[in-house]
Amino acid sequence: MASRLGTQLGEWQAGGGVAQALSDRIRMLLLDGRITAGERLPSERALAAELGRSRATVARAYELLEAAGYAERVHGSGTRAALPAQRVQRPAAPGGDVIDLTIASVGSAPGLHAATVRALDRLAGLLGSPGYSLDGLPELRARIAARYAARGLPTDPEQIVVTSGAMHALSIVLAALGERGRTAVVEQPTFPHAMEALRRTGHRLLPTPVTPEGWDSAHLVETIRAQRPALAYLIADFHNPTGATMPELERARVAAVARAAGTTLVVDETCAELDIDRAWTPRPFAAHGPAVLIGSMAKIAWGGLRIGWIRASREQVERMLAVRPSIDLGTPLLEQCIAVELHDDMAALLAHTSRRLRIGRAAVADGLATHLPEVAMPAVPGGLCAWVDLGGPWSTSLSLAARDRGLLLPPGPRFSASGVLDRYARIPITWEPDVTAAALARLGDAWRALRSGERSRHERLDAAAAV
Ligand SMILES: Cc1ncc(COP(=O)(O)O)c(C=O)c1O
């Protein structure tokens, strides 16, 4: 029977020594969280048989892993994956600089400093209060509610809970509404930390496909109808990482099916306003049927401003406020005051973000055309990244080769609930053009090394087949 590791390895041989390639691949799976420290690896004999390699090759790969601290041999109980004592994740780049494309976030908004100064006066007016803010400052909740109304979704401030970012919002939602031992639908690909949060709260994940062209609506609807999951976590606008937006009719259909199946829709709107040139603006999901919405200031103001929110029914809000004190006792008041000030000119904030993303998108398109001409730039009407199709299952190997060149790039399977998608890579459009240019030059170098290794392997195989 195929082992979990054997399945996850996929197309692991990317040229160079076989044992080295195998050990590199296992190391990547571990660094990526796709196998966990402490997890038992298949026996040398079993893995060798599964991969059609000699036992000595697998033994050598395990030795290499062990020497680097990524495996431990325990007498009598085989080999287990491990993480080196000090985190040695960061690669050594020539000159010591590392470009980290695992992060997709624009820098701080220009008005942030001035808003922070103004927020100090607002905070002064609150200093006489106890300072705990479980549901959020009324003036901030009112502004968030007004923005929903402006987007076509009438909202009462009582339906808003202010949180410390979208991930924190998701934790509160899952603590209040999730059901350990039940299933949750997630898109494939999706935002990896959301999958981790769902798994941590005991959900089994049911992936449903999405591409830059959109959702497989029939699959999504059928999965909800047949499996009746407790939750479905969706990113309906400028989906991370594909950039797709779900049409309104599809939202209505999904909402109706979810309501009938007793599935709570949790729709992450962190990217919802990152528009560059999408030709249409749908109303928020909850305008089409019951859905809990999660939002954030992270991508429109700054990742360092830990402000997010939840929009839900009053009854759901009550449940969330009941559970929240076991998680935290409220979002910092200074951050909330800054968010209130930023709401004064949200249009300027969004326009600025849009300009930055447009420039970032052009830089990625240029970099791909220059350094990876075989890889097409997908349509990116907005959002944080380009989800590029490499044309073959090379993403993990490319990430490894990029790492050796001082570039951190998460491989496609990082965005998959089932460890697939090795033909895709997520390239953020959020970095300054000079950073993107340098990153894509390194990626191009890794790509050429990988492809020439691939070619020489095929030549070797062809030559062997010819004799
Ligand atoms: C879809 C999605 N949700 C949530 C987050 C995290 O948001 P926050 O920083 O507000 O926790 C991100 C960040 O990239 C994201 O893309």
Residue 465 lies in a domain: no
Kindly report the CATH number assigned to the domain that includes residue 418: 3.90.1150.10
What is the Cα–Cα distance from 202 to 151, expressed in whole angstroms? 34
Cβ of residue 189 lying under 6 Å from some atom of ligand 1 = no
- Which DSSP string do the residues of 187-249 spell out, in sequence order? EES--HHHHHHHHHTTPEEEEEEEETTEE-HHHHHHHHHHH--SEEEE--SS-TTT-----HH
Cβ of residue 298 lying under 6 Å from some atom of ligand 1 = yes
Category of 268 on φ-ψ map: left (φ > 0), alpha (ψ -120 to 50) or beta:
beta
Contact 187, 239 (CB under 8 A): yes
Q: Return the best residue to mutate from 171, 270, 335 for the ligand 1 pocket (most ligand atoms within 8 A of CB).
A: 270
Confidence at 462, pLDDT banded by 50, 70, 90 = low
Residue 86 confidence (pLDDT): 45
Residue 269 confidence (pLDDT): 98
Residue 2 confidence (pLDDT): 73
Q: Return the best residue to mutate from 174, 297, 299, 309 for the ligand 1 pocket (most ligand atoms within 8 A of CB).
A: 299
What's the chain's average pLDDT?
92
Domain boundary among 344, 372, 400: 344
- What does the block give as tokens for 121? 């006066």
Q: Return the DSSP state at 159.
A: G
Cβ of residue 303 lying under 6 Å from some atom of ligand 1 = yes
- Residues 333 and 198 reside in one and the same domain: yes
Confidence at 87, pLDDT banded by 50, 70, 90 = very low
Q: Does pLDDT of 422 surpass 80? A: yes
Cβ of residue 104 lying under 6 Å from some atom of ligand 1 = yes
What is the Cα–Cα distance from 51 to 223, expressed in whole angstroms? 33
Residue 462 lies in a domain: no
What is the Cα–Cα distance from 142 to 29, expressed in whole angstroms? 45
Q: Which of 6-10, 16-20, 128-132, 216-220 has the lowest mean pLDDT?
A: 6-10
Residue 432 lies in a domain: yes
Cβ of residue 243 lying under 6 Å from some atom of ligand 1 = no
3-state secondary structure (DSSP) of residue 278: coil
Contact 240, 296 (CB under 8 A): no
128 class by beta-carbon count within 10 Å (0-12 exposed, 13-18 middle, 19+ buried): exposed
- Residues 286 and 211 reside in one and the same domain: yes
What is the Cα–Cα distance from 336 to 117, expressed in whole angstroms? 13
List pLDDT tens digits, range 11-47.
Answer: 666 556 899 889 988 988 887 767 877 888 999 999 9
What is the Cα–Cα distance from 52 to 38, expressed in whole angstroms? 26
Residue 169 lies in a domain: yes
φ, ψ at 88 (rounded to 5°): -110, 30
- Residues 314 and 411 reside in one and the same domain: no
Q: Return the best residue to mutate from 162, 168, 170, 193 for the ligand 1 pocket (most ligand atoms within 8 A of CB).
A: 193
Q: pLDDT > 90: what percent of the chain?
A: 81
Among candidate residues 144, 116, 92, the one with its CA nearest the CA of residue 310: 144
Q: How much distance in Å is there from the Cα of 343 to the middle of ligand 1?
A: 19
Cα-based distances in Å from 341 to 116, 118, 248 = 8, 7, 32
- Residues 326 and 355 reside in one and the same domain: no
Domain span including residue 73? 4-87
Q: How much distance in Å is there from the Cα of 262 to the middle of ligand 1?
A: 26
List pLDDT tens digits, range 169-212.
Answer: 999 999 999 999 999 999 999 999 999 999 999 999 999 999 99
In this structure, the residue with its CA closest to atom 12 of ligand 1 is 270
Q: How much distance in Å is there from the Cα of 422 to the middle of ligand 1?
A: 23
Q: Does pLDDT of 135 surpass 70? A: yes
Q: How much distance in Å is there from the Cα of 72 to the middle of ligand 1?
A: 35
Count, residues in the chain: 467
The per-type count for the chain, helices as H runs and strands as E runs, is: 15, 14
- Residues 44 and 178 reside in one and the same domain: no
- Residues 59 and 172 reside in one and the same domain: no
CA dihedral over 87, 241, 420, 407, signed as positive or negative:
negative
Residue 414 lies in a domain: yes
Q: How much distance in Å is there from the Cα of 241 to the middle of ligand 1?
A: 11
- Within 10 Å of residue 248's Cβ, how many Cβ atoms? 16
- What does the block give as tokens for 46? 């079993």
Residue 460 lies in a domain: no
Confidence at 7, pLDDT banded by 50, 70, 90 = confident
What is the Cα–Cα distance from 29 to 37, expressed in whole angstroms? 10
Kindly report the CATH number assigned to the domain that includes residue 37: 1.10.10.10
- Residues 132 and 232 reside in one and the same domain: yes
What is the Cα–Cα distance from 452 to 384, expressed in whole angstroms? 31
In this structure, the residue with its CA closest to atom 14 of ligand 1 is 104
- Residues 232 and 300 reside in one and the same domain: yes
What is the Cα–Cα distance from 177 to 187, expressed in whole angstroms? 19
- Residues 104 and 136 reside in one and the same domain: no
Q: How much distance in Å is there from the Cα of 169 to the middle of ligand 1?
A: 10
Contact 297, 264 (CB under 8 A): no
Domain boundary among 312, 344, 376: 344
- Which DSSP string do the residues of 355-405 spell out, in sequence order? HHHHHHHHHHHHHHHHH-TTSPPPP--BSSEEEEE-SSS-HHHHHHHHHTT
Contact 253, 218 (CB under 8 A): no
Q: Does pLDDT of 435 surpass 50? A: yes
The rounded radius of gyration (Å) of the Cα atoms in the chain is 24
Domain boundary among 53, 87, 121: 87
Q: Which residues pair with 174 in a beta bridge?
A: none
Cβ of residue 192 lying under 6 Å from some atom of ligand 1 = no
What is the Cα–Cα distance from 351 to 365, expressed in whole angstroms? 21
- pTM of the full structure: 0.85
Among candidate residues 217, 286, 272, the one with its CA nearest the CA of residue 250: 217
What is the Cα–Cα distance from 252 to 254, expressed in whole angstroms? 6
3-state secondary structure (DSSP) of residue 295: strand
Q: How much distance in Å is there from the Cα of 47 to the middle of ligand 1?
A: 38
- Residues 303 and 423 reside in one and the same domain: no
- Residues 153 and 277 reside in one and the same domain: yes
If one counts the domains in the chain, the total is 3
Q: How much distance in Å is there from the Cα of 34 to the middle of ligand 1?
A: 20
- Within 10 Å of residue 170's Cβ, how many Cβ atoms? 26
In this structure, the residue with its CA closest to atom 16 of ligand 1 is 240
Cβ of residue 268 lying under 6 Å from some atom of ligand 1 = yes
Cβ of residue 382 lying under 6 Å from some atom of ligand 1 = no
Q: Return the best residue to mutate from 191, 234, 246, 331 for the ligand 1 pocket (most ligand atoms within 8 A of CB).
A: 191
Confidence at 261, pLDDT banded by 50, 70, 90 = very high
Kindly report the CATH number assigned to the domain that includes residue 198: 3.40.640.10
List pLDDT tens digits, range 203-251.
Answer: 999 999 999 999 999 999 999 999 999 999 999 999 999 999 999 999 9
- Residues 352 and 322 reside in one and the same domain: no
